[in-house]
Amino acid sequence: MPSVLVGPYLLRGKDGGFRRILSEGGFDVVDPVGDFALTADQLSPHLPHTDALLAGGERMTPAQFQLASKLRVIARTGVGYDLIDVAAATAHKVAVSITPGTNHDSVAEQTMALILSLARRIVANDRVIHAGGWDRALVAPVRGKTLGLVGMGRIGKATAVRARAFDMRVLAHDQIADPEFDARYQIERLALDDLVRESDYVSLHLPLTAGSRGMVDARFLATMKPGSFLVNTARGGLVVEADLAMALESGRLAGAGLDVLEHEPPRPECPLLGLPNVILSPHIAGTDLESMNAMAELAAQTIVDLYQNRWPGACIVNPEVGRDWSWGPGSA
């Protein structure tokens, strides 16, 4: 019987539709013991015996693929796959899949929650009251403010719809145009620098790639409107944290709402920790109760489909393995 290793902490040892899909599909489901994200030392002993990985925040390097001689598929619960060396996966004939269309609404809700928390001083006022104070200083509304969305995929679009409901002006920057969507929701497309200059809130909705890593640096932040806010629910590696901390401490930026960081959990030396104008959440934007179930079930179904010789093309990020891919020993 083939085995599938359950990586995500929120799924390990938990019941759910994903487990039924895998069991009925003919898999032995293995729940390893480990940290929130399995470390290399926790993951590696399982790899020689694993046929499929239902993945969360595990990092898969070329060295780990060398260990995984039976591995046929890595099915990510989510749409980001920057922790997986896709080239190494392809070289070892391992299909890598994601779960598109399952968590964009959840991320959009978290994005708006961060924007509203920053605008309405929700966290700051809560801290003051718990400390015995009572500060009724006036806050700025979000209505009429400009939101710049860097990235207009499913998540960016879902955020745009919600922002328009709050009567925000919405700008967008993306290489792929969608005139019908833009016309329906009155979205203005701008070059990146122009968007950054005009926005009261800049929200990141990009994958982490070699080209996007560290894109929010000192130059980017200096281009932002004085007194504006940065929101990141995408990937921590998009932001140079030391540069952001300087912009926040200087007062050039009014605040930041971050669901993701360069290192998670953050290391003690993270320059953003303790800053009063930063709101942090623990990389939960994409994982509410509904989206987690949807991601897990689609990832599980992808594994079963591949095992039963059905090619889930919409989910596969390295389709080049499909030319001669089959469920059987890899090329490791």
Fold equal for 3-102+288-323 and 104-280: yes
Catalytic residue among 72, 154, 283, 297: 283
**Tens digit of pLDDT for each residue in 226-272?**
999 999 999 999 999 999 999 999 999 999 999 999 999 999 999 99
Please give the CATH superfamily to which domain 3-102+288-323 belongs: NAD(P)-binding Rossmann-like Domain (3.40.50.720)
The CATH number corresponding to 104-280 among 3.40.50.720, 3.50.50.100, 2.160.10.10, 3.30.70.1150 equals: 3.40.50.720
pLDDT at 332: 34
For the beta carbon of residue 97, count every other beta carbon within 10 angstroms. 25
* Surface-to-core class of residue 189, CB atoms within 10 Å of its CB (0-12 exposed, 13-18 middle, 19+ buried): middle
Q: Please say if the pLDDT value at position 314 is more than 70.
A: yes
> Which residue in 2, 7, 48 sits closest to 23, CA to CA?
2
Question: Backbone dihedral region of 207: left (phi > 0), alpha (psi from -120 to 50 degrees) or beta?
Answer: beta
For the beta carbon of residue 179, count every other beta carbon within 10 angstroms. 9
Q: Which amino acid is at 225?
A: K
Per domain, the residue ranges of the chain are 3-102+288-323, 104-280
Q: Are strands 253-258 and 52-55 parallel, antiparallel or unpaired?
A: unpaired
- Cβ contacts of residue 16 below 8 Å, gap of 6+? 293, 296, 297
CA 16 to chain centre: 22
**Tens digit of pLDDT for each residue in 18-54?**
999 999 999 999 999 998 889 999 999 999 999 999 9
pLDDT at 329: 54
Distances (CA, A) of 57 to 163, 252, 300: 29, 33, 16
**Tens digit of pLDDT for each residue in 176-233?**
999 999 999 999 999 999 999 999 999 999 999 999 999 999 999 999 999 999 999 9
Q: Please say if the pLDDT value at position 128 is more than 70.
A: yes
Mean pLDDT rounded to a whole number for the chain: 96
Could you give the residue ranges of the DSSP H alpha helices within the chain? Answer: 17-24, 40-43, 62-67, 86-91, 104-120, 122-130, 154-165, 179-185, 192-198, 218-223, 241-250, 289-307
> pTM, whole model, 2 decimals?
0.92
pLDDT at 251: 96
Structure tokens at 324: 């001669």
Is 235 assigned a catalytic role? yes
Catalytic residue among 109, 188, 198, 264: 264
| 29 vs 321: CA distance, rounded Å | 25
Is 283 assigned a catalytic role? yes
Catalytic residue among 121, 154, 205, 235: 235
